[in-house]
Copies of this chain bind each other. A is one copy, B any other.
């Protein structure tokens, strides 16, 4: 009988006493469903229930966590991803991945993949040059089975809620079809993500704005039609089940402009005349406007700042966005977010979930903000920080001043559908480990730890994301 690829105590603390507590905490939430209020799975994949094409397309090529580290080891991206010039053979991509497998030791990606190999695909060996073709064939065969269709996996993964991330003009047909389908029991919710309509520096901004106003501006033109169109499209999303609007920004700067100034900047931007300061001011103002709309329509507002997108232009030009070279920068929230919080920080039912790629704001800014403003929730450690040690650093940094109640729950933020259970499982193991330490250090009662465990895994995301 083959050795299992994973250990039942993986990610739990080494100390046997602490581990025992952590195990109990983990067991106590084992039956709870997955709530995934922020991610990047395509709703059409679930709706159309198409089989996944092949191991490379499922597990390697689209996952920038995976391709980036193989690229760093010297393998050209063209051997892993499709570009205008290249269309790598899936079996060859898989071979590159298997050869590169040792690179992933100790990484979050490596952990998630191993969990998938064990629990989704039931593999009995790890990737290696020797096992490559065998594993490819084994997974490929599985992918043809009925039980590996997206809808069955959705059910087997015990997903209750899965939020997607969508363009404001998306008609959300797949979401509608799923909601209308009496045979599908999960909730697949759209998320309003208007970056490409707010960020003037985006190459398609002017065109996007044009299309937006034409589609939903109630016949108007100019700034006020732009606001109306955004409001209308948010309403459309809400009508299709959306609970949140997400904002990926370089900085979380916010600014309140009066309508005339905003309109003037908008017009200058549309005619290409706005300088960098005007663009910054307008974008900060629009982040403020998004909060205003959230206060009015109830969509939870989430902010993901501080990623320098597409750091390496030649790679971007060949392979497009989201190909592994978005690099974080330092972030400051306290002064940047203040104009927004001055006006909406205590607004009734307004929920604002703040994320960061810059750990320094955990204890310095985020916990203090979430520990005062009823609207502010702590976003889970995200992207490069979505890993056991980093999640423990987050917990250690925020809990002592903000407690557990201000947490908005784990988000998997993933395009990789089959990694969802592994990511949530890892998060639960880390939460159990942290709580177990506090129990062992007599900092919280064991009984309360069990309540907090359920709150963290289940109640927090339901509360913060209004699920």
Q: Is A48 an interface residue when CB atoms closer than 8 A count as contact?
A: no
In the complex where A11-B443, A400-B389 touch, is A364 in contact with B359 (Cβ < 8 A)? yes
User: Please, which residues of chain B bring their CB within 8 A of the CB of A6?
Assistant: 442
What residues of chain B lie closer than 8 Å to A308, measured between beta carbons? 334-335, 338
Docked-complex contact B72 and A374, CB < 8 angstroms? yes
Q: Is the CB of B328 within 8 A of A107?
A: no
A448 contacts the other chain (Cβ, under 8 Å)? yes
B residues near A110, Cβ cutoff 8 Å: 403
The answer to whether B14 touches A312 (Cβ under 8 A) is no
Contact B338 A400 (CB under 8 A): no
For chain A, residues 440 to 459, give those with C-beta under 8 angstroms from any C-beta of chain B: 440-444, 448, 451-452
Which residues 1-50 of A have a CB within 8 angstroms of B?
6-7, 9-18
Closest chain-B Cβ to A429's Cβ sits at a distance in Å of 10
Q: Which of B108, B368, B384, B443 contacts A328 (CB under 8 A)?
A: B368
With A69-B402, A371-B68 already in contact, the answer to whether A14 and B15 are too (CB < 8 A) is yes
Chain A 120-157 near chain B by CB (<8 Å), digits 1 or 0: 00000000000000000000000000000000000000
Among A290-323, those with CB < 8 Å from B are 308, 311-315
Within 8 A of B (CB), among A395-436: 396-397, 399-406
Residue of B whose beta carbon sits closest to that of A389: B396
A384, B18: Cα distance in complex, Å: 27
In the complex the two chains form, is B73's CB within 8 Å of A365's CB?
no
Quote the shortest CB–CB distance from A81 to chain B (angstroms): 13
- Are B400 and A387 within 8 A (Cβ)? yes
CA A439 to CA B138, docked complex, whole Å: 29
The residue from B15, B69, B358 contacting A360, defined by CB atoms under 8 A apart: B358
- Does A273 count as interface, using CB distance less than 8 angstroms? no
Q: Are B71 and A452 in contact (CB under 8 A)?
A: no
- Measured CA separation A35–B11 after assembly (Å): 33
A357 beta carbon closer than 8 Å to chain B = yes
In contact, B111 and A443 (Cβ under 8 angstroms): yes
* Partner-contacting stretch, out of A97-105, A159-167, A189-197: A97-105
- Closest residue on chain B to residue A332 by CB atoms: B330
* Neighbouring B residues of A379 by C-beta, 8 Å: none
Asked if B357 contacts A364 (CB within 8 A), the reply is yes
Does A329 sit at the interface, judged by CB under 8 A? yes
Question: Could you tell me the distance in whole angstroms from the C-beta of A168 to the nearest C-beta in chain B?
Answer: 29
Residue A215 lies at the interface, judged by CB distance under 8 Å to chain B: no
Interface on A for B, CB 8 Å cutoff? 6-7, 9-18, 68-69, 71-74, 102-108, 110-111, 308, 311-315, 324-330, 332, 334-335, 338, 341-342, 345-346, 357-360, 363-365, 367-374, 376, 384-385, 387-390, 393, 396-397, 399-406, 437-438, 440-444, 448, 451-452
> Apart from A10-B441, A106-B400, what are 9 other A-B pairs with CB-CB below 8 Å?
A73-B405, A108-B400, A308-B335, A327-B365, A328-B365, A330-B364, A388-B441, A389-B396, A389-B399
Pull 20 A–B residue pairs with CB atoms less than 8 Å apart, ordered by A: A7-B442, A9-B441, A11-B441, A14-B15, A14-B440, A72-B372, A73-B374, A105-B403, A105-B404, A107-B403, A110-B403, A308-B335, A313-B342, A329-B334, A330-B360, A359-B364, A363-B384, A363-B385, A363-B390, A384-B401
